[in-house]
Amino acid sequence: MSTSAVSRNYAATLFELAGRDGSEERFGELIGASGDLYASDPVFHRFLNAPSVALAEKKDALRTALMGVPDLFARFLMVVLDRRRQSALPAIAEGYRELLDRQAGRIRATVTLPHAADDALKAVIVEAIERRFQQKMIPEFRTDDRILGGVVVRAGDKLMDASVRRRLEDLKRELT
């Protein structure tokens, strides 16, 4: 999912606010949970988007739910509601996570293999990718038997395709 400019701006603003007192990780957890809840809970989603529910009622419910979280974060969510940007919560969370990863010098990567990998193979793959990008990697392993063999790695906007399927397609192109 790509984040829109609006979502990136909200994420950057929240990141800056969190940086004032070193709460970047905590705010990351909170915005991530908020985005996940909005995306996965149809009741919460409908409640925040219902035109029949007054904005003040939505804000009161959120304030109650946000008891114990930093006031700065709660106020940020109130602004998101005021501006009717609640549908952007998942994208704001994604944008925030990207900023947090960049600050921490880490990269998220999707690693696709033709079969499930054991821990030793996963460690080798992670080590190789970390050397390649010179960053700490947070991997997400997937399986797809259509690649036949090898590995496909997507990290940010980079794609490394060392699959047997791609090599066969390259060979086919060369022969025709």
**Dist CA 42 CA 48 (whole Å):** 10
The domain tally of the chain equals 2
Q: Do 94 and 147 lie in a common domain?
A: no
Average pLDDT, 10 consecutive residues per value, the chain (176 residues): 80 95 94 96 95 94 92 95 96 95 91 93 91 90 91 88 89 89
Angle of helix 5-19 relative to helix 71-82, nearest 10 degrees, comes to 160
Q: Determine the pLDDT at residue 19.
A: 93
Q: Which two tokens stand for residue 127?
A: 């080590």
**Dist CA 1 CA 79 (whole Å):** 23
- Provide the domain limits for residue 77: 5-102
Handedness of CA 65, 69, 70, 73 (dihedral sign): negative
Q: Are 143 and 113 in contact (CB under 8 A)?
A: yes
Q: Determine the pLDDT at residue 50.
A: 94
Domain CATH number, residue 10: 1.10.520.20
Number of Cβ atoms within 10 Å of the Cβ of 140: 10
**Dist CA 7 CA 96 (whole Å):** 9
Q: Do 95 and 73 lie in a common domain?
A: yes
Q: Determine the pLDDT at residue 27.
A: 96
pTM of the model: 0.76
Which of 102, 126, 160 terminates a domain? The answer is 102
Q: Determine the pLDDT at residue 3.
A: 56
Q: Determine the pLDDT at residue 1.
A: 42
| Burial letters 148-172, b for 16+ CB under 10 A, else e | eeebbbbbeeeebbebebeeeeeee
Q: Determine the pLDDT at residue 122.
A: 93
Which of 54, 71, 102 terminates a domain? The answer is 102
Q: Do 30 and 64 lie in a common domain?
A: yes
**Dist CA 108 CA 103 (whole Å):** 13
Q: Do 93 and 148 lie in a common domain?
A: no
